[in-house]
Structure 1
Amino acid sequence: MSDSEATTSRVHEAIPDQNTVQVLRDMANRLRIQSIRAMCSSQSSHSMSCNSTAEIMSVLLFHTMRYKQADPENPDNDRFILPKKLALSDAVIGWCGQGLGAACGMAYTGKYFDKASFRVYCLVSGDISEGSVWEAMAFASHHALDNLVVIFDTNCVIYGASSPPGHCTDVYQKRCEAFGCNTYVVDGRNVEALCQVFWQAAQVKNRPTAVIAKTFRGRGMPNIEDAENWYGKPMSKERADAIIELIESQIQTNRNLTPNLPIEDSPEISIGDVKMSTPPAYQMGSKLATQKACGLALAKLGHVNERLIMLDGDNKNTFSEVFKNEHPERFIECFIAEQNMVSVALGCASRGRTIAFASTFAALLIRAFDQIRAGAVAEMNINLIGSHCGVSVGEDGPLLMALEDLAMFRAIPNCTIFYPSDAVSTERAVYLAANNKGMCYIRTSQPETAIIYTPQETFQIGQAKVVRENVNDKVTVIGAGVTLHEALAAADNLSKEDIFIRVIDLFTIKPLDVATIITNAKATGGRIITVEDHYPEGGIGEAVCAAVSTEPGIVVHQLAVLEVPRSGKPQELLDKFGISAKQIAVTVKCIVMD
């Protein structure tokens, strides 16, 4: 084919013939009718905003995008993310600004990991003012995601008011250009113009594209289109029937369009049954912080599976740089934008394309609770690592002391929570998380702690370890992480006074090993002490109390951080807030003497 013939072919692809244009208009009207019927059937108040994007949807789904209709999860398909629910969409995201970050993760995976031809389209509508949208825009530009197209549906609406700056498309154009995006402004009702800008976007290299589409709520609905006083109101059946009849009268064809098939160039991958190449290489008695052990474990596992990736929020102190140094091509820098980092990780993990681990300070993960919750709703496989937990952070101060993170993740459905206590159990936790389905959270600590397990020790999700026991044990003490070592120190000190305690390492907080807890509690007179570097609300103590609540004769005494902490040396803070070996010993004596 000559250059002129190729150019002509591309022009025809950009601007379809008039017959095709009319079919696209008609399909938009059919989508509009289906939207009205669905909204009226459910008495929803969202028919106006859904109607604003009918032409955009028609052009994307039946002209621009390449995918197999019968196989929506095909890895070669173009991706589509929108705040209005659709089976073809890859994530259940609502309209809270999370979709664009997920789209960035899909686009990053396509460009840098799969090196495939699929493109990613994301519709941004009522969530246009969310900060996470603009975090994602900065990410997309920095990483040159030229396979990403963001469509801004500027229908001038949020709940109860006009969305600033409303229909001011020039303002959005300047914003997007300032973020480094290739930007077009288009009439969102014009099928030909939409076809052309989506074609032009495919020609752009090294920059994402933003399409600013001027649209109208209630498009095609007389006396309702762009009327603010109609937003948020359900429509009567009689009025809906009249509008549907009017829209049907504008449909001129009975044709349907079949989407173009995708280019099949995504690599075949395997992310299942990941195995460590060798056992943990640690000696009992030596010391290492679990957050450093976590970074080393990820780097080690990265040599076993080339689809294991790591995302980080510009925090070198989490030891993510260990993975970065050994696998730079699979490390994604998300900067200090934790909400977007989690959304990008969700996008990277979609369709089973990667094993994604995202790491930052646990206190900063709290900012991304909305994104974490959305990931759970979508039943995504994603692994989150929170470092610098509890008052044992020490001098860095209370703002970086995560004392609420266990409560947050315990509230997430189907979330597995690992809380390893030494380097060996940390490496095993990383391995188990990489193979587990659903969301996983690994809680790691800053202080160096002794290695108490041999390299051959086996671990399972939901299985606790009894690490100290004696036939004369009077109390069962349950800890994890830093507080497990405080419990062991208390056991050593108490044994000198012929007072013996049983010590349990939970390993996973969720699911909890209820059987082990109850069995050992009964063996020690029904007496339990839980000790945790966390607030009492939602932590280990409450989890154990719930687990034994139906068992008669078991009493749980909770040691936890009971007030807002302050800066100080780690051991001083453990003492001050009542979760050190000293306080455990005092509590044991009080219980035994009762």
Structure 2
Amino acid sequence: MNTRQLTELGQQLRVDSVRAAAAAGSGHPTSSMSAADLLAVLFANHLRYDFDRPAHPGNDRFILSKGHASPLLYAAYKAAGAINDTELMTFRRLGSRLEGHPTPRRLPWVETATGSLGQGLPVGVGIALSGKRLDRVGYRVWVLCGDSEMAEGSVWEAAEHAGYEHLDNLVAIVDVNRLGQRGPTRHGHDLDAYARRFRAFGWHTVEVDGHDVDAIDRAYGEAVSTVGQPTAIIARTLKGKGVASVQDREGLHGKPLPDADEAIEELGGVRDLRIEVRQPPAARMLHAVRAGHLELPRYETGDEVATRDAYGQALAALGTARGDVVALDGEVSDSTRAEFFAKEHPDRFFECYIAEQQLVAAAVGLAARGWVPYVSTFAAFLTRAHDFVRMASISGAGINLVGSHAGVAIGQDGPSQMGLEDLAMFRAVHGSTVLYPCDANQTAKLVAEMAGCEGVRYLRTSRGGMPVLYGPNEEFPVGGSKVLRVSPQDRLTVVAAGATVHEALKAAHALAADGISVQVIDLYSVKPVDRRALREAAEHTGCLLTVEDHHEEGGLGDAVLDAFLDGRPTPRLVRLAVRTMPGSASPEEQLHAAGIDAESIAAAAKLLVENAIVR
């Protein structure tokens, strides 16, 4: 398109943003209006995309990081012919695909859910990594960011990683409209304040008037021709551009224009321009065929093996069998044991360093390109990336997260290194799967099982060696459990997972010597939980004692309780969990101090049995 046509298209995108927000009675038209020229030039002259084939391997990828500007994105979709005007006017209505913030669950052209600011660029880095290192296809990743989100640390994690990886297929477009939600942004219209930061991380930068369509066009051309560096286009814009009553004025964020009809007239009226978005070049996806015989590691019963070791060995084996499996780690692969995968499949291993937000975001980006990512770090450190996990769930992203060094059982490192909130955190994620194996063979099987699950999957591993309980041919379906001890004389049921399974078995053995028989269940699938097995145990013994190396809130005990929330009679339920703040001590001392070792379990069981006799 030429200058006049691009200017008209920018005005059309403004008008349609105003119309959509007015029809909904809510939305962010002024944030859309500031970036309208930026998107008009991109869609008309530079984006290569087949809207009829969103999975085309040669398609460029566009991410609206400032997701609240969704009216602009939908207006651009209309101009490209992907949606019609009738659908545009359903913005924010019940059942509409055009949500207040875009999600790939509803629209096939959306790469990732946005709206939690600071996430678009990190996910874009993941997609760009896929294009550069795995797909080896020349698509470009365009990310439209707002200036407010430049205050997010995750943006600069992404900027550093992209610079380090020389992602010249990545372009960040920063809409510097000066105004945030409650007033001016930190740097206002100081474009160089943003450019300096990007340049410090190895980016090529272009400062531009964001309403000069010719200047924007040249800037995009410069980005495309830049080799060896990602490009940041820093664009000075005006919020509410084109309507005098709202342009560059505070207090109008997230509100429809006061008089939409008057604004539309001031913008030149409704238009119906259509753009022919450039078609992508022919491309062939180079994903390796998934087929391959899976030879998981096998461990002898009685041997002592850390589940983190089994995870690393199983992941390497899975990578051999499946060429679509990739692994990411946060500079602790020697501890998480992801290094086993890295050594065998270096081309599919991504070191993200101590940047957990970027770590998870990169996995989301890789998953969007069809890869099956496994992300590993210490369980405690995944808390830093919880918002990225939450947004991954909203996106419907299929990612596997593995938290090692969980619980007080890690020993002397102290509470800062102990994942004691992770089960609660991942159980609360919509549609998640949460697994906590207790031995090496179980771990290996669950690593493979995770690859076939949907949504966010979490596996918890332990630092220290634990006896192998199960043979290598045992199966562990997601949603299942294992009954390790049972007899007609059982007085109660001990429910454990991971490290506490071994303590529960020791306690059961000691109790048996005192004439008290107890059932022991290994509840390795914390979500979904094995409701049937738990209900049968409740009918069998009438009392469940849960033991977990985790805080009492939201973990194993709550998972067990959920099995009895259907209106049926609830059994007596007692919980042993970490209720105090740990210090430094040996693993055995930690378990005892927390009251979750074999001695504590046996004492609690005796007390419960005595109380039952008294009654």
Q: TM-score over 0.5 for the alignment?
A: yes
SS at structure 2 position matched to 1:39: helix
Which of 545, 566, 569 is the matching residue for 2:561? 545
Question: Residue 318 of structure 1: CA displacement?
Answer: 1.1
Question: Residue 491 of structure 1: CA displacement?
Answer: 1.2
Contact map agreement 2:45 2:277 (CA 8 A) in 1 = yes
Which of 499, 502, 514 is the matching residue for 2:531? 514
Contact map agreement 1:276 1:431 (CA 8 A) in 2 = no
Question: Residue 564 of structure 1: CA displacement?
Answer: 1.4
Q: Is structure 2 residue 261 aligned with structure 1 residue 241? A: yes
Where do 1:272-311 residues align within 5 Å? 277-311=294-328
What residue number does 1:216 align with? Answer: 238
Opposite residue 21 of structure 2, the aligned amino acid is M
CA–CA distance in 2 between the matches of 1:149 and 1:577? Answer: 51
What residue number does 2:154 align with? Answer: 132
- Report the CA distance shift for 1:113/1:41 in structure 2 as closer, same or farther (over 3 A): same
Opposite residue 102 of structure 1, the aligned amino acid is V
Where do 1:45-84 residues align within 5 Å? 46-82=28-64, 83-84=66-67
Which of 173, 182, 185 is the matching residue for 1:160? 182
What residue number does 1:15 align with? Answer: none
Contact map agreement 1:271 1:355 (CA 8 A) in 2 = no
CA–CA distance in 2 between the matches of 1:235 and 1:21? Answer: 27
Opposite residue 6 of structure 2, the aligned amino acid is L
**Percentage of matched positions with identical amino acids:** 40
CA–CA distance in 2 between the matches of 1:250 and 1:47? Answer: 15
What residue number does 1:449 align with? Answer: 466
CA–CA distance in 1 between the matches of 2:535 and 2:253? Answer: 56
CA–CA distance in 1 between the matches of 2:296 and 2:143? Answer: 43
Which of 145, 150, 172 is the matching residue for 1:150? 172
Contact map agreement 1:23 1:256 (CA 8 A) in 2 = no
Contact map agreement 1:76 1:264 (CA 8 A) in 2 = yes
Deviations 1:362-408 (A, max 9, x none): 11101111111000011110011111111111111001111111111
SS at structure 2 position matched to 1:359: strand
What residue number does 2:433 align with? Answer: 416
SS at structure 2 position matched to 1:560: strand
Which of 357, 364, 373 is the matching residue for 1:339? 357
SS at structure 2 position matched to 1:150: strand
Q: Is structure 2 residue 192 aligned with structure 1 residue 174? A: no
Opposite residue 371 of structure 1, the aligned amino acid is F
CA–CA distance in 2 between the matches of 1:279 and 1:113? Answer: 25
Question: Residue 333 of structure 1: CA displacement?
Answer: 0.8
- Report the CA distance shift for 1:410/1:276 in structure 2 as closer, same or farther (over 3 A): farther
CA–CA distance in 1 between the matches of 2:120 and 2:353? Answer: 18
Question: Residue 81 of structure 1: CA displacement?
Answer: 0.6
The aligned length equals: 569
- Report the CA distance shift for 1:234/1:117 in structure 2 as closer, same or farther (over 3 A): same
Question: Residue 221 of structure 1: CA displacement?
Answer: 0.7
Where do 1:23-62 residues align within 5 Å? 23-44=5-26, 46-62=28-44
Which of 121, 126, 131 is the matching residue for 1:100? 121
What residue number does 1:437 align with? Answer: 454
Deviations 1:481-520 (A, max 9, x none): 0000100111111122222111111111000000001102
Q: Is structure 2 residue 378 aligned with structure 1 residue 357? A: no
Q: Is structure 2 residue 138 aligned with structure 1 residue 117? A: yes
- Cα RMSD, aligned residues only: 1.6
Q: Is structure 2 residue 341 aligned with structure 1 residue 330? A: no
- Report the CA distance shift for 1:41/1:372 in structure 2 as closer, same or farther (over 3 A): same
Opposite residue 339 of structure 1, the aligned amino acid is Q
Contact map agreement 2:531 2:563 (CA 8 A) in 1 = yes
SS at structure 1 position matched to 2:174: strand
CA–CA distance in 1 between the matches of 2:280 and 2:443? Answer: 42
SS at structure 1 position matched to 2:362: helix
Contact map agreement 1:29 1:247 (CA 8 A) in 2 = yes
What residue number does 1:190 align with? Answer: 212
Opposite residue 7 of structure 2, the aligned amino acid is R
- Report the CA distance shift for 1:270/1:41 in structure 2 as closer, same or farther (over 3 A): farther
What residue number does 1:459 align with? Answer: 476
CA–CA distance in 2 between the matches of 1:164 and 1:494? Answer: 64
CA–CA distance in 2 between the matches of 1:463 and 1:133? Answer: 40
Contact map agreement 2:176 2:237 (CA 8 A) in 1 = yes
Which of 530, 536, 539 is the matching residue for 2:546? 530
Question: Residue 75 of structure 1: CA displacement?
Answer: 2.7
SS at structure 2 position matched to 1:395: coil
Opposite residue 241 of structure 1, the aligned amino acid is D
Q: Is structure 2 residue 222 aligned with structure 1 residue 200? A: yes
SS at structure 1 position matched to 2:247: coil
- Report the CA distance shift for 1:249/1:277 in structure 2 as closer, same or farther (over 3 A): closer
SS at structure 1 position matched to 2:534: helix
What residue number does 1:390 align with? Answer: 407
What residue number does 1:3 align with? Answer: none
What residue number does 1:481 align with? Answer: 498
- Report the CA distance shift for 1:20/1:324 in structure 2 as closer, same or farther (over 3 A): same
Opposite residue 601 of structure 2, the aligned amino acid is I
Opposite residue 57 of structure 1, the aligned amino acid is L
Opposite residue 537 of structure 1, the aligned amino acid is E
Question: Residue 205 of structure 1: CA displacement?
Answer: 1.5
CA–CA distance in 2 between the matches of 1:155 and 1:167? Answer: 7
- Runs of 5+ unmatched residues, structure 2: 74-106
Q: Which moved more, 1:123-132 or 1:40-49?
A: 40-49
Opposite residue 105 of structure 1, the aligned amino acid is G
CA–CA distance in 1 between the matches of 2:410 and 2:257? Answer: 56
Where do 1:362-381 residues align within 5 Å? 362-381=379-398
What residue number does 2:337 align with? Answer: 319
